[in-house]
Amino acid sequence: MNTPVKKYAAEAIGTFVLVLFGCGSAATAGGNLGNLGIAFAFGLAIVAMAYVIGSVSGCHVNPAVSLAMLLLRKLSAADFVGYVIAQIVGAIAGAAVLYAIIASTGADVTSLGQNGFGDGYGIGITMTMAVIVEIILTFVFIYAILGVTSSQSHGAVAGLVIGLTLVFVHILGIGLTGTSVNPARSLGPALLLGGNALSQVWVFLVSPLIGGALAAAVYRWLNSSRQA
């Protein structure tokens, strides 16, 4: 039986892996991997976790996904709170391990794969455009999740589709905002780094939640009458 404790532990582990491997690839090997390589690091982390913890918690590892599930009544309010807390704990732990790895070299820790915008980050988009970009990217990502998880017949490929969709949105988003689409993924590195990353993190907390809510609303309107 998947008790609440097991579900929350699974969410914490999944988010830990996403942040450590996704953000870690960006922070330590981004120059060698390029945007495509970083995108696949994030996507493959989700693929791996989907097939390990998907049967336990659904592998949300993202407060915006959990919000969409709550709005569609696929997640209780109590579990929503538990999931989000677990996801934040996992993200902070992942960022902390990444910080320790980089700091152990004696170098100053200036990157934990944090999100951002403006001068000196990506192509330098404005705050307003960063909000718009994150809403759109999150909408696409979560709309795909809702679609592929709507039928049990998709179960065998759901993790792969979700992971590849995350790769897809990262390919565009990395050069713009670093691609959040996940408030927990953004909060962990920002808390550890502080400074500009922390002052800008509100964009990456609010925008993905808006995108997730929009995805749930559009899914309910267009797709909810389909037979599973």
- CATH label of the domain that carries residue 144: 1.20.1080.10
Mean pLDDT score of the chain, rounded to an integer? 96
Q: Which residues contact 114 (CB under 8 A, 6 or more apart)?
A: 23, 178, 186, 189, 190, 193, 197
Residue 204 lies in a domain: yes
Q: Structure tokens of 25?
A: 């690839």
Total domain count, the chain: 1
How many whole angstroms separate alpha carbon 172 and alpha carbon 36?
9
* Each residue's pLDDT tens digit, 51-65: 999 999 999 999 999
Q: What pLDDT was estimated at residue 1?
A: 79
% of the chain residues with pLDDT over 90? 93
Residue 227 lies in a domain: no
% of the chain residues with pLDDT over 70? 98
Cβ pair 163, 43 in contact under 8 A:
yes
What domain range includes position 127?
4-222
Average pLDDT over residues 117-125: 96
Region of 117 (left: φ > 0; alpha: ψ -120 to 50; beta: rest) is beta
Residue 200 lies in a domain: yes
Query: CA 136, 213, 84 angle in degrees (round to 5)?
Result: 105
Q: What pLDDT was estimated at residue 11?
A: 98
pTM: 0.95
Average pLDDT over residues 36-46: 98
Average pLDDT over residues 57-77: 97
Residue 167 has pLDDT above 50, yes or no: yes
Residue 224 has pLDDT above 80, yes or no: no
Residue 228 has pLDDT above 80, yes or no: no
